[in-house]
Amino acid sequence: MNRSIPSDMADPVSPLIPLAPGSRIGILGGGQLGAMLAGAASEMGFEPHIYAPESGSPAFQRAGNYSCKAYEDHEALSDFAKAVDIVTYEFENVPIEPLRRIEHLVPVRPGLMALETAQDRLNEKRFLQGVGVPLARFEAVNSTEELAEAVEKIGFPCVLKTRRFGYDGKGQIILRNEGDQHTAFADLGNQPCVLEAFVAFFAETSQIAARSLAGDVSSYEMALNTHQDHILKTTVLPSGLPQPVLAQASAAAAAILHQLDYVGVMGIEFFISGTPDQPALLVNEIAPRVHNSGHWTQDGALIDQFEQHIRAIAGWPLGDGSHHSNVTMTNLIGDDVDNWLLFARDPACRVHLYGKGETRAGRKMGHINTVSAKS
Ligand code: AMP
């Protein structure tokens, strides 16, 4: 069912925009982010369709339609593209080439430019430098010799990171002295890397922001993150950071989104260096998708990040992301999830479980949002 759009609301150039309820939203990736995007899309009257290669993907349970196929299966991906009205993705390592082949069949939002930028740390840093947002000093490194030259420029301590496929602290090594330096490039598999100055930060934060098809930007208030074993553990709102820092983060987010001609929600991670009295923001990385550190919005903001993303890609106006409550989001990692009843006994605690069959150490099994009155 594809309801018609009142003529005064339809885009004169593209009459299918905004997408009407009943339209089909294709989502690449079957993890919890895909599941929550599918949930938001269903609540808005859309028909979500998940495409993911892993059988038993959590998002399959939440969507009426799913295709359990490889991204490289050209025929299956084309069939999927023809069966939906728009395609989005829930993770940034979606292979680019298959997407290029379906781009002429269906709009892909956020676009491929954002994916290409975020998939390669060097591209990402050069892009951020071009936008003019502050970031740690960096150098490209393609060999042990180039690493020595880069260390010469940046100094110890510094962090060597693979350009591709790094996440949750994987694919990176802190170099404190020449001993670390000698083996680091080989330890990371002799692959293209980036060397970054080590940032003596006192806090890590993330800014979740959205940009609509019409180019409007809406930012959530920036929240404070803590990590455990390099995995996000909590996100706290309010962050306690001064207003000018919050404003600087949302201005940086807007500049990044506009420069990428981005449509959808993005997570931008920052280090806060300096001192609590004189904080200085540095962008760490961008994630062109809904973000774990934005889960607090489900129970603390008028319109959460999942609805906001679906609104944006469907060509709808953005919703109001103002927060109405203080929230602490806590990830349930590994067997934390066994305490579900304990969390459920707290009336101020909203329990979100992902329905993953097998509990493994380091696996995100769910999250809780503990809500209190806005301060
Ligand atoms: P990333 O995969 O780049 O987000 O890095 C994972 C974590 O490693 C970050 O959340 C930081 O805690 C730490 N880290 C990464 N880069 C740096 C850096 N340049 N200086 C200090 N810590 C870093």
Domains and CATH numbers, the chain: 7-108 (3.40.50.20), 137-197 (3.30.1490.20), 201-373 (3.30.470.20)
Q: What is the 3-state secondary structure (H, E, C) of the chain?
A: CCCCCCCCCCCCCCCCCCCCCCCEEEEECCCHHHHHHHHHHHHCCCEEEEEECCCCCHHHHHCCEEEECCCCCHHHHHHHHHHCCEEEECCCCCCHHHHHHHCCCCCECCCHHHHHHHCCHHHHHHHHHHHCCCECCEEEECCHHHHHHHHHHHCCCEEEEECCCCCCCCCEEEECCHHHHHHHHHHCCCCCEEEEECCCCCEEEEEEEEECCCCCEEECCCEEEEEECCEEEEEEECCCCCHHHHHHHHHHHHHHHHHCCCCEEEEEEEEEEECCCCEEEEEEEEECCCCHHHCCHHHHECCCHHHHHHHHHCCCCCCCCCECEEEEEEEEEHHHHHHHHHHHCCCCEEEEECCCCCCCCCCEEEEEEEEEECC
Interval between CA 174 and ligand 1 midpoint (Å) = 9
Q: Which residue's CA is minimally distant from atom 18 of ligand 1?
A: 198
Dihedral sign from CA coordinates of 100, 105, 109, 113 = positive
pTM for the whole structure = 0.95
Query: Phi/psi of residue 317, each to 5°?
Result: -65, 150
Give the model's pLDDT for residue 1.
40
Give the model's pLDDT for residue 13.
45
**What percent of the chain is predicted at pLDDT more than 90?**
93
Give the number of the atom of ligand 1 that is nearest the alpha carbon of residue 167: 2
Interval between CA 169 and ligand 1 midpoint (Å) = 7
- Mean pLDDT score, 181-185: 95
Give the model's pLDDT for residue 16.
57
- Residue whose structure tokens are 């349970």: 61
- Mean pLDDT score, 210-215: 96
What's the pLDDT band for 167 if we cut at 50, 70, 90? confident
Interval between CA 230 and ligand 1 midpoint (Å) = 8
Regarding the beta carbon of 156 and ligand 1, being less than 6 Å apart is answered no
What's the pLDDT band for 169 if we cut at 50, 70, 90? confident
Give the model's pLDDT for residue 64.
87
Give the number of the atom of ligand 1 that is nearest the alpha carbon of residue 161: 3
- Mean pLDDT score, 321-339: 98
Regarding the beta carbon of 160 and ligand 1, being less than 6 Å apart is answered no
Interval between CA 44 and ligand 1 midpoint (Å) = 37
What is the greatest pairwise CA distance in the chain?
68
Regarding the beta carbon of 333 and ligand 1, being less than 6 Å apart is answered no
Regarding the beta carbon of 285 and ligand 1, being less than 6 Å apart is answered yes
Give the model's pLDDT for residue 9.
55
Mutation choice for ligand 1 from 168, 284, 285, CB with most ligand atoms inside 8 A: 284
Interval between CA 52 and ligand 1 midpoint (Å) = 29
What's the pLDDT band for 2 if we cut at 50, 70, 90? very low
What's the pLDDT band for 170 if we cut at 50, 70, 90? confident
- Mean pLDDT score, 291-308: 98
CA 228 to each of CA 53, 272, 330: distance values in angstroms, whole numbers, following the listed order: 29, 18, 11
Interval between CA 318 and ligand 1 midpoint (Å) = 31
- Mean pLDDT score, 213-234: 97
Mutation choice for ligand 1 from 119, 128, 159, 224, CB with most ligand atoms inside 8 A: 159
Exposed e or buried b for every residue in 300-313, given b needs 16+ CB within 10 A? Answer: bbebbbbbbbbbbb
Q: Which residue's CA is minimally distant from atom 1 of ligand 1?
A: 169
Give the model's pLDDT for residue 290.
98
pLDDT beyond 90 at 15: no
Regarding the beta carbon of 199 and ligand 1, being less than 6 Å apart is answered yes
pLDDT beyond 90 at 6: no
- Spatial separation of the C-alpha atoms in residues 227 and 229, rounded to whole Å: 7
Regarding the beta carbon of 355 and ligand 1, being less than 6 Å apart is answered no
pLDDT beyond 70 at 214: yes
What's the pLDDT band for 8 if we cut at 50, 70, 90? low
Interval between CA 365 and ligand 1 midpoint (Å) = 23
Regarding the beta carbon of 159 and ligand 1, being less than 6 Å apart is answered yes
Give the model's pLDDT for residue 173.
96
- Tell me the pLDDT tens digit for each residue of 88-120: 999 999 999 999 999 999 999 999 999 999 999
What's the pLDDT band for 166 if we cut at 50, 70, 90? confident
